[in-house]
Amino acid sequence: MTKAEIVENISSKTGLTKKEVAEAVDKFLDCIAKGLAEGKHYEIRGFGTFKVKARKSRMARNPRTGDAVPVPDRKVPVFKVSRELKELVAQS
Amino acid sequence: MTKADLVEEISKETGLSKKDTSIVVNLIIENLIKALAEGDKVELRGFGSFKVKSRKSRKARNPRTGTAVEVPAKLVPYFKASNELKALVNT
């Protein structure tokens, strides 16, 4: 499924134009992305939570040469799936 | 932040009423859930993708009693963040 298909579906269900829906969908993703960058987290009941996790620096290896390379501290976006969604998918 | 906060933010930026925005947000989530429940994947360019992975069955132990239990094979939903989103967050 792509964003275009989601927009199409929402537009047909609401009667809003595809342009309006596309803008709202883009803003939805933008808001979450920007919020995460600011360290906010978003909890969407029944779906899951978007948040940022800190990963510690570690030593890794270049798989081609075998050289040790340091991986610095970093922040990564994660999505924690809600229990409801897990159950729904597991049953399918 | 909750869905209500998100609706508020989106409504402010798009000029759509909060009511319409709320309907759209709920439908976005409904579409995502439906796709995943059907085993479909959703790719949102620049943001990330939602997919379903299959996990093999495995033997685990009940930590309290120590008895071996079989964990059945199952499907699990997961989100893979895009490189753009990863870069944005890690600044």
Residue A32 three-state SS:
helix
Q: Taking 90 as the threshold, does the pLDDT of residue A40 lie above it?
A: yes
Is the distance from CB of B86 to CB of A37 less than 8 angstroms? Answer: no
Q: Which of residues 10-39 of B touch A (CB under 8 A)?
A: 10, 13-14, 16, 20-21, 23-25, 27-29, 31-33, 35-39
Domain containing residue A56: CATH number? 4.10.520.10
Q: How far is the C-alpha of B27 from the C-alpha of A44, rounded, in Å?
A: 13
Are A5 and A26 in the same domain?
yes
Are A49 and A7 in the same domain?
no
Q: Which of residues 61-80 of A touch B (CB under 8 A)?
A: 74-79
Are A85 and A57 in the same domain?
yes
Are A17 and A6 in the same domain?
yes
Are A29 and A1 in the same domain?
yes
* Boundaries of domain holding A17: 1-39
Name the nearest CA neighbour of A49 among B76, B1, B17: B1
Are A26 and A64 in the same domain?
no
Quote the mean pLDDT of chain A. 94
Whether residues A78 and B88 touch (CB distance < 8 A) is answered with no
Whether residues A37 and B46 touch (CB distance < 8 A) is answered with no
Are A21 and A48 in the same domain?
no
The residue of chain B nearest to residue A38, with distances taken between CA atoms, is: B89
Strand pairing report for A68-71 and A74-81: unpaired
User: ipTM score here?
Assistant: 0.88
Are A46 and A61 in the same domain?
yes
Q: How far is the C-alpha of A91 from the C-alpha of B76, rounded, in Å?
A: 10
Range A15-43 average pLDDT: 95
Q: Taking 90 as the threshold, does the pLDDT of residue A91 lie above it?
A: no
* Helices and strands counted in chain B (H then E): 3, 5
The residue of chain A nearest to residue B29, with distances taken between CA atoms, is: A47
Are A46 and A34 in the same domain?
no
Chain A environment of B5 (Cβ under 8 Å): 42
Name the nearest CA neighbour of A46 among B75, B36, B85: B36
Are A20 and A9 in the same domain?
yes
Percent of chain A with pLDDT over 90: 96
Name the nearest CA neighbour of A82 among A40, A51, A52, A39: A51
**Cross-chain CB nearest to B24 (options A2, A10, A85):** A10
Name the H helices within B1-91: 3-14, 18-37, 83-89
Are A86 and A49 in the same domain?
yes
Are A61 and A90 in the same domain?
yes
When divided into structural domains, chain A yields a total of 2
pLDDT of residue A24: 96
Please write the tens of the pLDDT for every residue from B40-91. Answer: 999 999 999 999 999 999 999 999 998 999 988 999 999 999 999 999 999 8
Percent of chain A with pLDDT over 70: 99
